[in-house]
A and B are shown apart, each in its own frame.
Chain A
Amino acid sequence: MSEALRHAGYVLGENPLTAAAFALFTFLVLCAVLGPGLVPYDPLASDTARALSPPSAAHWFGTDQLGRDIFSRIVVATRLDLGIAVTAVALAFAIGTLSGLAAGYFGGWTDRIIGRIVDTIMAFPLFVLAMGIVAALGNTLANIVYATAIINLPIYARLARTEANVRREAGFVEAARLCGNSEARIVLAQLLPNVMPLMMVQVSLTLGYAILNAAGLSFIGLGVRPPTAEWGIMVAEGASFIVSGEWWAALFPGLFLMAAVFCFNLMGDGLRDIVDPRMRT
């Protein structure tokens, strides 16, 4: 374990970008946890006298069309945005990994049925499928999470299937079988820990994609409704003022969104270096 830690420390030291990504991640998590208690203004309190005022000492990121403080809204929105992404990715990870492992380990009909479902999801442009799902199931926050989880499923299922497939005849699996372990136990206790590191890399990469996806959905008016503070909606609301030069209303939430996605992508690349040095790019 200390060997792994030392390797992780070495990679972080070698690659300052990854270290920066981890720092940014910590900052985002702090925003999500403590943010609502720390922000200077109520994110929903409007003050029309100060509507659309540019960034100043009182309002660091300026105010929006209703005079709400953009900085407070962005910080408070972190919890919602990260929450949607984390829940969706957790769902996709759990269902995708388990079904992929089952498909790769058992083969046969299990493999064919799961493979067919995954292929059908992949036959759609993913964001379009998410739009269709939210439109059909109803325009709610929970459905945004389900839609994001569904479009992320195939990645986990495919990866887990390949990894389980190459290991199904491996010595340690045979040994576990000889010892009388049940099939379910072999999948959960032998195969799952083996594919975990690769999966964690994927979790980080898909978290970025999940944030983009959820923000995209709310940008076109699905899921989170105003006046809730959410990065995608804030960019959408600020968008109408771009052409008249009030850039701050869309820029700052957009920058935060970008930073969050950037952070998860870099962290994924860094995790990959730690987990699998051969795949370094």
Chain B
Amino acid sequence: MVLRRLATALPSIAGVIVVTFLLTRALPGDPAAYFAGVAATQQAIEEIRHLMGFDRSLLVQFFDYLRQLARGDLGTSISTGQPVAQELLTRLPASAELTFSALFLALTIAVPLGVAAARRPGSWVDHACRIVTTAGVSLPVFFTGLLLVYLLYYLAGWAPAPLGRLDVFNSPPTNWTGFYLIDSLIAGDLAAFHATAAQLALPAATMAIFALAPLARITRGSMLAALGSDFVRTARANGLSRRRIVYVYAFRNAVLPVITTLGMVFSFMLGANVLVEKVFAWPGIGSYAIEALIASDYAPVQGFVLTMALLYVLLNLLIDLLYGLVDPRVRIAA
């Protein structure tokens, strides 16, 4: 089943690669002149054109591009002179740590909130849930971030300055996983763990507020439907305890649409990630892409778009597998 699902992801991956390839070829004006820089002579431009294969047919260029990708070569950044793939890899853990912490935070708040709202429709919990879901989708994520910085850093002084993953008093822990939270625990460095958690709190909360809304909304809706269904009525008539009905019978069924929504939530979060990283000077792949965009350095941007899209395809794959684990019917059907 896993293999069959993997096969269905292939067209998406192919589509992603074709689009990222076409995007480079759509660069305004002459791409060779673009890569050569402003001060290049005509001869230098011609040389680059030949070197980068712009004088060959589109199909040949596409196969060259595929060959490069197969070697893990995403080109070289003009502004830093480093290979793009390597820079993305060193920065990826920072983005991943931020995104997963935010997702974890969002799930631990949204799911109980949605369940509580569905158990007592019309109560204050339900109203709170509705306010959170409507406000959450309307808040521009960079604005939430700035608001939190102002309130919790400038006014209250609880949060550290929004400047990256670790303050200047701590040095990064030994690199095992690239996740500072885990690395500092492995190293047994509690001070670094606290500092990391403090730096992570605001950006993760910012992203979590954004991701919370769709999750809480779906949880509430599907939980309402599950609680109103015949099998719950039967379970209640048979005298099962309230807790058992809600958490075993209804919740197990209600969680399926929530897992499906995770796909959309990830799409939002990977985009929001870029904005949050800019607000908090987070050294992840999003801020790398922004720096490259400002410097008109195209190779890193292309590498970034490709990485994000492949990650997204991979995450969707994981969501599908998770769905199969939770819902035995899917496994039987497959």
The answer to whether B309 and A125 have CB atoms under 8 Å apart is yes
Stretch from B61-69, B135-143, B166-174 contacting the other chain = B135-143
The answer to whether B312 and A123 have CB atoms under 8 Å apart is yes
Given contacts A128-B309, A235-B143, contact A123 B12 (CB under 8 A): yes
The answer to whether A131 and B274 have CB atoms under 8 Å apart is yes
CA distance A247 to B153 in the complex (A): 12
Interface residue count on the B side (C-beta < 8 Å): 55
Which residues of chain B (289-313) have a CB below 8 Å from chain A?
A: 289-290, 293-294, 298, 301-302, 304-305, 308-309, 312-313
CA distance A201 to B316 in the complex (A): 27
Given contacts A235-B143, A266-B134, contact A220 B11 (CB under 8 A): no
CA distance A281 to B216 in the complex (A): 13
The answer to whether B154 and A242 have CB atoms under 8 Å apart is yes
The answer to whether B142 and A216 have CB atoms under 8 Å apart is yes
- Chain A residues lying within 8 Å of B161, measured Cβ to Cβ, are 243
Given contacts A120-B16, A124-B308, A124-B312, contact A132 B23 (CB under 8 A): yes
CA distance A120 to B140 in the complex (A): 26
CA distance A232 to B278 in the complex (A): 13
Which residue from B149, B275, B298, B305 sits with its C-beta under 8 Å from A216? B275
Which residue from A123, A219, A269 sits with its C-beta under 8 Å from B275? A219
CA distance A85 to B141 in the complex (A): 18
Secondary structure of the B side of the interface?
helix
Which residue from B15, B16, B24, B267 sits with its C-beta under 8 Å from A136? B24
User: Closest CB of chain B to A106's CB: distance in Å?
Assistant: 21
Against A, the Cβ 8 Å flags (1 = close, 0 = not) of B141-153 are 1110011011001
CA distance A247 to B152 in the complex (A): 13
The answer to whether A125 and B270 have CB atoms under 8 Å apart is yes
Against B, the Cβ 8 Å flags (1 = close, 0 = not) of A218-248 are 0111100000000010011011001111010
CA distance A261 to B308 in the complex (A): 26
Contact of A250 with B by CB under 8 A? yes
Given contacts A216-B140, A254-B147, contact A124 B305 (CB under 8 A): yes
CA distance A100 to B301 in the complex (A): 31
- Chain A residues lying within 8 Å of B11, measured Cβ to Cβ, are 116, 119
The answer to whether B301 and A135 have CB atoms under 8 Å apart is yes
- Chain A residues lying within 8 Å of B270, measured Cβ to Cβ, are 125, 127-128
Interface centre among A125, A138, A212, A220 (most CB of B within 10 A): A125
Known A216-B140, A242-B149; 19 more pairs at CB < 8 Å: A116-B11, A123-B13, A123-B16, A125-B268, A125-B269, A126-B271, A127-B272, A131-B293, A132-B20, A136-B24, A208-B138, A232-B140, A235-B140, A236-B142, A257-B140, A258-B143, A262-B138, A269-B134, A281-B221
20 A-B pairs within 8 Å (CB atoms) are namely A123-B15, A125-B269, A125-B270, A125-B309, A127-B271, A130-B271, A135-B293, A136-B23, A136-B26, A222-B293, A232-B140, A238-B146, A243-B154, A243-B161, A250-B146, A254-B140, A261-B139, A262-B134, A265-B137, A266-B134
